[in-house]
A and B are shown apart, each in its own frame.
Chain A
Amino acid sequence: MSLRKKEERRFILVFLAPAFLLFTGLVFLPAIRALLYSLQKWDGLGTPEWVGLRNFARLLRDDDIFLVALGHNLILFAIAGGCTIALALFFASILSQKIRGASIFRVAFFFPNVIALVAVALLWILLYSTTNFGVINAMLAQVQGAAAAAGLPFPEIDLPFPFLQSRYLISSIIPMIVWSATGFYMVLFLAAIGGIPQSYYEAARLEGASHFQQFIHITLPLLREILVVAAVFMIITLMKFFDPIWVMENEVPNRDSHVLATLLYQKVFTEYDMGYASAVAVLLFLIVLAASAFSLTWSRKERIEY
């Protein structure tokens, strides 16, 4: 072992240690701890008691609130996530065509993504309000009036519609998510479309393919991988979804409006049921893990090289 090697080894140790210690102490070990908590019955004060998988049995069998909350997460993922990705793809395909002002649209569309979700939620509380300043209800009333005057069919709903009531909250949050997240995914897709060689499109144009055909046969297949990345990212974000529900429900969500994260929070800080809450967290982790693993293997298999 030369002196130089010794010095190098010490340098490696010194540079890795702080990050390693902090990450191990505050992320890795607590994650292991959470797995242990999920196998225990504990109120946070007394001595924990081993119960094996009973917490998981409880949350899957005893009451269905866990499944209801999980269902809400999945609804958000399917509808809000689906709409966001579809819209982002649509905007990205338009903006990649070198139209005038593309950069202005790109910058503006991304902007809602940088606003704190808490602030977004408060903004939408105002937009959804049932009083005279509820912008969305006012617009609906206008549309309803115009439709009635023109004799066009319009769903018979009583306005103002109580968007912020617990039982409609999950549906009401969908447009909010689309509003705030679309810009991010659009930038992601724009980058990927920018990486597709222009010659492909030129060849397709020579063959007489329409814009739509080009999109279906060139853009979409080549974007498969990034679409999978986007879907995984969406699952990770929407499984953790917490802030807007918490703020809109004034810190007391109920059966109608719970998602996994709010349920977990309530179990810990109002019911002191650490085991149940940890079991929720562990299942949440497993869902994210499974989704990512599945998508990674799937996209590897289907990889297109160009």
Chain B
Amino acid sequence: MDKVRTILAYTVLIGWLLAVVLPMVWVLVNSLRSSKEFVQNPFGMPWLVTGVPADGLLELSEIEAARARASAGEDAGLALERLDQLARDFAKLDSENNGALEAGVVYGDPAETLSGEEVAAVERAAGRSLAISAAISNYRKAWVESNFSRFFFNSLWVTGWSLFGTLALASMAAYVLARFEFRGNRWLFLFFISGMMIPAQLLLIPVFFEFSWLSDVGTRFLEPFGLRFQLYDSHFGLILLYIALSLPFTILVLSGFFKSLPGALREAAIMDGCGEYRTFWHVMLPLAKPGLITAAIFNFLGIWNEYIFALVFVNTPEKKTLPLGLASVSIQAQYKTDFGLMFAGLVIVVVPTLLVYVLLQRQLTQGITTGAIKG
């Protein structure tokens, strides 16, 4: 009976494990394959593994150079007529794609296009591995041509400053709220926490108009100094907004941590002649480190993946964050059936969160755990 139960339990668990992990593996594998390979066989392995090319990624210039060498009687790795045919294939394909080929992709059935020896010959002639270029070209297209590098650094910039600001402001406020007696303390704490109840959608419209109003006022003051003050469509505005939105949750988490620290600590530090500020900085903050890490992970995931505020408050394509960029590039990539690009984009967006999760999953789980037990 118990054996049956165990087998059943494992069956269900492994089933869900596959359902969770396989789609991600599928994305990763196909980000290393050309779109054509993917369409022909969505469940194939990348050419890197199988060694069977789907399409030789040759630049037209490379074919032309090889042809020039072959017609001059040198060894170009391939016969002249074969090179002619490749050039024709390439030109035909280029015209089909309105001359928008990023790399010369020689289409045809993988088995027909180039034989194994020919691949080796072409690789010799081109001086690079076709397999590598097939895998890399997706990432090159995403990172360079589709501007993912830009989106990535925008996300890094916005998330970094938002985290820094949130942790700084929230730890200061939470420390005072948790460790000091003053009138209205409890109300102020509730005032901050009530922010967790407010759905983001409620703020979209008023903040939108508030930003344009503040920008006008700010610019009027700063114009004499030749400065422009912009909150809408600027990273600065988005960062301020993310900080404000992250404060309630972060203050809740951190005040719990500050409350749990022994009260005698502050007295002792003050007696030793530390000022309030130094006590906070040298004694309290280091002790609250676990809380800071927990808050940082949750906020990182939230802000890195945030979509709707970025959608409303960022307009210029160069200022887009990763989720925005991924959404717009993917929609275009689907029209062009450029799945390789889409998969590469997905990987670029998911990998940082995956890294953070794998490295810090213990703290993350512990954060949820303490929250669940206390909350």
A122 touches B327 (CB 8 A): yes
What separation, in Å, do the CA atoms of A192 and B373 have in the docked complex?
A: 6
Indicate if B5 sits at the interface (CB-CB under 8 A): yes
What separation, in Å, do the CA atoms of A18 and B247 have in the docked complex?
A: 11
B205 touches A278 (CB 8 A): yes
A187 touches B368 (CB 8 A): yes
B23 touches A127 (CB 8 A): yes
Within 8 A of A (CB), among B200-228: 200-210
Given contacts A133-B42, A261-B308, contact A115 B353 (CB under 8 A): yes
Given contacts A8-B276, A281-B201, contact A16 B308 (CB under 8 A): no
Indicate if A34 sits at the interface (CB-CB under 8 A): yes
B307 touches A195 (CB 8 A): no
B146 surroundings in chain A (CB, below 8 A): none
Within 8 A of A (CB), among B1-52: 5-6, 9-10, 12-13, 16-17, 19-21, 23-24, 26-27, 38-39, 42
Return B298 CB to nearest CB of chain A, in Å: 10
A31 touches B203 (CB 8 A): yes
Indicate if A23 sits at the interface (CB-CB under 8 A): yes
B20 touches A188 (CB 8 A): no
What separation, in Å, do the CA atoms of A288 and B280 have in the docked complex?
A: 37
Given contacts A109-B16, A115-B353, contact A27 B203 (CB under 8 A): yes
B361 surroundings in chain A (CB, below 8 A): 107, 110
B276 touches A11 (CB 8 A): yes
Indicate if A174 sits at the interface (CB-CB under 8 A): no
Interface with B: A149-157, A214-222, A242-250, which one? A242-250
B307 touches A30 (CB 8 A): no
Indicate if B152 sits at the interface (CB-CB under 8 A): no
A188 surroundings in chain B (CB, below 8 A): 368, 372
Return B195 CB to nearest CB of chain A, in Å: 5
Chain A: interface size category:
35 or more
B195 touches A239 (CB 8 A): no
Given contacts A15-B172, A37-B206, contact A114 B356 (CB under 8 A): yes
Label chain B's interface by main secondary structure.
helix
Cβ proximity bits B301-322 to A, threshold 8 Å, 1 near / 0 not: 1001101100110000000001
B205 touches A191 (CB 8 A): no
Within 8 A of B (CB), among A211-238: 211, 226, 229, 236
What separation, in Å, do the CA atoms of A264 and B198 have in the docked complex?
A: 15
Within 8 A of A (CB), among B235-263: 240-241, 243-245, 247-248, 251
A105 touches B17 (CB 8 A): yes
Given contacts A12-B176, A27-B245, A119-B349, contact A288 B199 (CB under 8 A): yes
B244 touches A23 (CB 8 A): yes
A122 touches B276 (CB 8 A): no
B210 touches A30 (CB 8 A): yes
Indicate if B192 sits at the interface (CB-CB under 8 A): yes
Indicate if B53 sits at the interface (CB-CB under 8 A): no
What separation, in Å, do the CA atoms of A25 and B369 have in the docked complex?
A: 33
Complex partner residue of B176 from A16, A107, A240, CB under 8 angstroms: A16
Indicate if B187 sits at the interface (CB-CB under 8 A): no
A135 surroundings in chain B (CB, below 8 A): 23, 26, 42
A75 surroundings in chain B (CB, below 8 A): none
A18 touches B172 (CB 8 A): yes
Indicate if A298 sits at the interface (CB-CB under 8 A): no
A26 touches B244 (CB 8 A): yes
Indicate if A54 sits at the interface (CB-CB under 8 A): no
A111 touches B357 (CB 8 A): yes
B20 touches A111 (CB 8 A): yes
Return B326 CB to nearest CB of chain A, in Å: 6
What separation, in Å, do the CA atoms of A233 and B346 have in the docked complex?
A: 27
Residue of A nearest to B200 (CB): A240
Cβ proximity bits A97-122 to B, threshold 8 Å, 1 near / 0 not: 00100000111111110111111001
A292 surroundings in chain B (CB, below 8 A): 197
B199 touches A115 (CB 8 A): no
Return A147 CB to nearest CB of chain B, in Å: 19
What separation, in Å, do the CA atoms of A30 and B200 have in the docked complex?
A: 11
B369 touches A194 (CB 8 A): yes
B349 touches A28 (CB 8 A): no
Given contacts A11-B276, A15-B176, A91-B13, contact A28 B195 (CB under 8 A): yes
B323 touches A116 (CB 8 A): yes
A122 touches B326 (CB 8 A): yes
A261 touches B210 (CB 8 A): no
Indicate if A161 sits at the interface (CB-CB under 8 A): no
B353 touches A110 (CB 8 A): no
Cβ proximity bits B251-291 to A, threshold 8 Å, 1 near / 0 not: 10000000000000000000000011100100000000000
A12 surroundings in chain B (CB, below 8 A): 176, 180, 182
Cβ proximity bits A127-154 to B, threshold 8 Å, 1 near / 0 not: 1000111010000000000000000000
Complex partner residue of A115 from B207, B305, B372, B373, CB under 8 angstroms: B305
What separation, in Å, do the CA atoms of A112 and B354 have in the docked complex?
A: 9
A281 touches B205 (CB 8 A): yes
B346 surroundings in chain A (CB, below 8 A): 119, 122-123
**Additional A-B contacts beyond A114-B301, A281-B202 (18; CB < 8 A):** A12-B176, A12-B180, A23-B244, A27-B198, A27-B248, A29-B210, A30-B210, A31-B206, A106-B365, A115-B350, A116-B349, A117-B305, A123-B346, A131-B39, A133-B42, A133-B339, A281-B204, A281-B205
Which 10 A-B pairs give the minimum distances between C-beta atoms?
Answer: A133-B42, A116-B305, A26-B244, A30-B206, A191-B369, A33-B206, A19-B173, A15-B172, A19-B169, A11-B276
13 pairs, CB–CB < 8 Å, chain A vs chain B = A22-B169, A26-B210, A26-B244, A27-B198, A31-B206, A34-B203, A37-B205, A99-B9, A116-B305, A116-B349, A117-B305, A179-B20, A242-B201
* A-to-B contact residues, CB < 8 Å: 7-9, 11-12, 15-16, 18-20, 22-23, 25-31, 33-34, 37, 44, 90-91, 94-95, 99, 105-112, 114-119, 122-123, 125-127, 131-133, 135, 179, 182-184, 187-188, 190-192, 194-195, 211, 226, 229, 236, 239-240, 242-243, 246-247, 250, 260-261, 264-265, 268-269, 274, 277-278, 280-282, 284-285, 288-289, 292
